[in-house]
């Protein structure tokens, strides 16, 4: 049976929330689409449904006379919603109504001198890592040799009146980097919610509303 498909598919990036269109491929199945803004690879499964239907019992196979109402046709299938990359947490934009801070709540397994110290996050990239003269971070953790230099980065984006988005990316993970007690690998990205915990080596941080 003949099939029909739309010329373009509308898609919204689960990472940066950018809406865009891409040309419909020639064949149905799983395709990978690159977001034009953030570059994230988005898997999309496409299904095309036939628009011509086999006649049912008693139905004529002859073409309808001119002026006769046409038979209803099945609408083309819509692409399934793209799934975020494994390990990526997509947040509702309404939840992040203000910028945030990083608070050191544990140091070396205990409340140390840096315990309960807060560092405000600014828009753009905020790096976090072990204090180092040659490779400093925006937020430096002193006296914990288990933390890598420039271990993670938190990118703060103002979503133009829809709230803030906080994207954490692991830069170095020679020692464990944990997000809400789940290990992350180098290059992995997660989106933060208020109250999330981040562990770098033996130091535990908490992401809070400012």
Q: How far is CA 142 from the centre of its chain?
A: 31
**What pLDDT band is residue 156 in, cutting at 50, 70 and 90?**
very high
Q: Residue 109: pLDDT above 60?
A: no
What is the per-residue pLDDT across 180-198, written as a single tens digit (0 to 9) for each? Answer: 999 999 999 999 999 999 9
Which has the minimum average pLDDT: 36-50, 76-90, 92-106, 151-165?
76-90
Distance CA 24, CA 13 (A): 17
Q: Which domains, ranges and CATH numbers included, belong to the chain?
A: 1-52+73-84 (no CATH), 93-209 (2.60.200.20)
Which has the minimum average pLDDT: 45-59, 111-125, 149-163?
45-59
Mean pLDDT of 18-45: 80
Q: Residue 83: pLDDT above 90?
A: no
Q: Residue 175: pLDDT above 50?
A: yes
Q: Residue 55: pLDDT above 80?
A: no
Given a contact cutoff of 8 angstroms between Cβ atoms, the answer to whether 180 and 154 are in contact is no
Given a contact cutoff of 8 angstroms between Cβ atoms, the answer to whether 170 and 148 are in contact is no
pLDDT of residue 128: 94
pLDDT of residue 45: 78
**What pLDDT band is residue 107 in, cutting at 50, 70 and 90?**
low
pLDDT of residue 5: 54
Where do the DSSP E strands lie in the chain?
Answer: 8-12, 19-23, 29-34, 41-46, 100-106, 117-120, 124-130, 139-141, 152-158, 164-170, 177-179, 182-184, 189-191, 197-200, 203-209
pLDDT of residue 62: 53
């Amino acid at each position: 049976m003949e099939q029909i498909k739309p010329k373009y598919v509308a898609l919204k990036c689960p990472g940066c929330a950018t809406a865009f269109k891409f040309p419909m491929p020639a064949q149905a199945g799983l395709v990978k689409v690159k977001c034009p803004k953030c570059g994230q690879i988005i898997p999309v499964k496409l299904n095309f449904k036939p628009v011509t239907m086999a006649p049912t019992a008693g139905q004529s196979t002859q073409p309808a006379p001119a002026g006769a109402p046409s038979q209803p046709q099945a609408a083309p299938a819509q692409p399934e919603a793209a799934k975020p990359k494994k390990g990526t947490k997509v947040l509702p934009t309404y939840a992040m109504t203000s910028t945030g801070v990083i608070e050191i709540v544990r140091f070396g397994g205990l409340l140390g001198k840096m315990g309960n110290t807060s560092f405000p996050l600014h828009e753009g990239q905020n790096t976090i890592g072990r204090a180092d003269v040659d490779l400093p971070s925006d937020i430096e953790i002193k006296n914990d040799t288990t933390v890598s230099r420039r271990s993670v980065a938190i990118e703060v984006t103002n979503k133009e009146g829809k709230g803030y988005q906080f994207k954490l990316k692991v830069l170095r993970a020679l020692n464990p980097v944990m997000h809400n007690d789940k290990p992350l690998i180098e290059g992995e990205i997660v989106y933060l919610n208020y109250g999330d915990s981040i562990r770098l080596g033996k130091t535990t941080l908490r992401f809070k509303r400012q």
